[in-house]
Structure 1
Amino acid sequence: MRAILAIIGLAVIVILAMAWLGMINLNLRSGALPEVKVEGGKAPAVQADVGKVDMGYTNKTIQVPTVVMENKTIQVPRVEVEKARQPVEAN
Structure 2
Amino acid sequence: MTEGGAGKSGEAPATVEATMTIKKAPRAEVEELPKAIVRRVVKDKLSQLASGGEEEDVSVQKDALLAFSESTRIFIHYVSAT
Q: Confirm or deny a common fold (TM above 0.5).
A: no
Kindly indicate which of the two structures has a greater share of residues assigned to helix.
Answer: 2
Which protein, 1 or 2, shows the higher relative CO under an 8 Å CA cutoff with sep ≥ 6?
2
The bucket for the TM-score relative to the shorter chain is under 0.3
TM-score normalised by L of structure 1: 0.21
TM-score normalised by L of structure 2: 0.23
Q: Which has the larger radius of gyration?
A: 1
